[in-house]
């Protein structure tokens, strides 16, 4: 199948897909409404397939890459679900390195996020990616199945699991004790939330197209933030003006980058919404931000 980009799809179809991905509509509703975009022998099911991730094709760092040492780690989370599990990847042959917590989208720890975690290890960080779905059996193997189970999480417990995971990473013997966090979509919102809860224990946060935290909690943020935003992302961008006002009022250090012409999810190189130029720039900025504030 030919690799497509966002430019191959009608913007209204991309908005419809975004609603499906984030639980606004179910699969049947997506297919019904997508049928009007199905022309020239292309069906609505084919459109969904074209818009869905292709993990293996986009993999950058293989699990057995000699530059990294990966493992799955369980950790206690007494205020959350009791026990969490995540993917820990360290640079091979490195005694200590700064840590980065990697937070997935609303589908759990899928192969793409595991690849992101390995990429960070190659770049010199101890990277730890918890799986919010672990209490419900873990990432189920497909994006559709993950979307179905994700709403069943008790988000209050899940937030505590991520707080616990940050503490686990900070205390790992391979970690210098300096920890940053990066997240995407749901994970971007979780980074913003963690910034309000972790205080000085979080050295930097990078939120890719993530929702704003409770604005009353913004004065508690101690870490500098980098906000990575897609231009065509009305659902998320609508909350930015109030979030920015709260950041300014609290004196929080932040920078925001808006990438022209991009879609929500533009950094995810497994889907057609990926924008290679914007993603490279955003990732280069992310690494530089961590090296300046976490290393």
In this prediction, residues 72-86 reach a mean pLDDT of 98
Q: What's the pLDDT band for 42 if we cut at 50, 70, 90?
A: confident
Dump pLDDT digits (tens) for 197-225. Answer: 999 999 999 999 999 999 999 999 999 99
Dump pLDDT digits (tens) for 23-35. Answer: 888 888 988 998 8
Residue 57 C-alpha from the chain's centroid: 19
d(CA 108, CA 123): 23
pLDDT given at position 176: 98
Ranking 29-33, 79-83, 262-266 by mean pLDDT, the lowest is 29-33
d(CA 45, CA 204): 41
In this prediction, residues 11-17 reach a mean pLDDT of 87
Instruction: Please list the alpha-helical segments (H only) found in the chain.
Output: 11-21, 27-34, 44-51, 55-58, 111-122, 143-149, 155-171, 186-198, 234-237, 240-250, 276-293
Is the confidence at residue 2, as pLDDT, over 70?
no
Q: Which residue has the higher pLDDT, 290 or 48?
A: 290
Note the pTM of the prediction, 2 decimals. 0.88
Task: Quickly count: other Cβ atoms within 10 Å of residue 103's Cβ.
Answer: 30
In this prediction, residues 84-88 reach a mean pLDDT of 98
Is the confidence at residue 55, as pLDDT, over 80?
no
d(CA 170, CA 162): 12
Strand partners, 257: 228
pLDDT given at position 7: 77
pLDDT given at position 59: 87
The structure tokens listed for 57 are 């094709």
d(CA 88, CA 6): 32
pLDDT given at position 17: 86
Is the confidence at residue 1, as pLDDT, over 60?
no
pLDDT given at position 271: 87
d(CA 21, CA 233): 13
Dump pLDDT digits (tens) for 97-135. Answer: 999 999 999 999 999 999 999 999 999 999 999 999 999
Instruction: Give all domains of the chain, ordered by start, each with its CATH number.
Output: 6-51 (no CATH), 64-293 (3.40.50.1820)
Percent of the chain, pLDDT > 70? 98
Is the confidence at residue 66, as pLDDT, over 80?
yes
In this prediction, residues 215-239 reach a mean pLDDT of 97
200 closest CA partner among 223, 169, 177, 176: 223
For the chain, the average pLDDT equals: 94
DSSP conformation class of 202 = -
Write the DSSP string, 174-185. TEEEEEEEEEET
Is the confidence at residue 3, as pLDDT, over 80?
no
Name, of 76-90, 141-155, 258-272, the range with top average pLDDT: 76-90
Is the confidence at residue 12, as pLDDT, over 80?
yes
d(CA 189, CA 181): 11
Q: Is 122 exposed, middle or buried (0-12, 13-18, 19+ CB in 10 A)?
A: middle
């Amino acid at each position: 199948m030919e690799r497509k980009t966002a430019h191959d799809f009608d913007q209204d179809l991309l908005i419809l897909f975004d609603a499906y991905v984030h639980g606004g509509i179910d699969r049947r509703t997506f297919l019904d409404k997508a049928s009007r975009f199905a022309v020239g022998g292309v069906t609505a099911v084919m459109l969904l397939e074209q818009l869905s991730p292709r993990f293996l094709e986009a993999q950058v760092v293989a699990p057995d890459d000699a530059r990294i040492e990966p493992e799955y780690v369980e950790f206690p989370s007494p205020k959350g679900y009791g026990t969490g599990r995540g993917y820990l990847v360290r640079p091979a042959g490195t005694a200590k390195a700064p840590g980065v917590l990697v937070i997935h989208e609303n589908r759990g720890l899928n192969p793409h996020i595991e690849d992101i975690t390995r990429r960070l290890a190659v770049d010199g960080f101890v990277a730890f990616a918890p799986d919010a779905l672990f209490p419900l059996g873990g990432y189920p193997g497909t994006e559709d199945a993950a979307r179905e189970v994700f709403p069943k999480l008790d988000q209050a417990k899940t937030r505590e699991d991520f707080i616990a995971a940050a503490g686990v990473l900070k205390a790992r013997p391979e970690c210098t004790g300096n920890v940053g966090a990066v997240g995407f979509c749901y994970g971007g919102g979780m980074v913003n939330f963690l910034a309000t809860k972790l205080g000085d224990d979080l050295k930097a946060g990078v939120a890719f197209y993530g929702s704003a935290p409770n604005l009353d909690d913004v004065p508690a943020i101690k870490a500098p933030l980098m906000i990575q935003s897609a231009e065509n992302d009305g659902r998320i961008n609508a909350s930015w003006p109030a979030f920015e006002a709260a950041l300014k009022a609290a004196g929080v250090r932040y920078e925001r980058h808006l990438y022209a012409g991009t879609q929500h999810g533009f950094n995810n190189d497994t889907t057609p919404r990926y924008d290679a130029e914007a993603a490279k720039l955003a990732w280069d900025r992310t690494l530089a931000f961590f090296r300046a504030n976490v290393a």
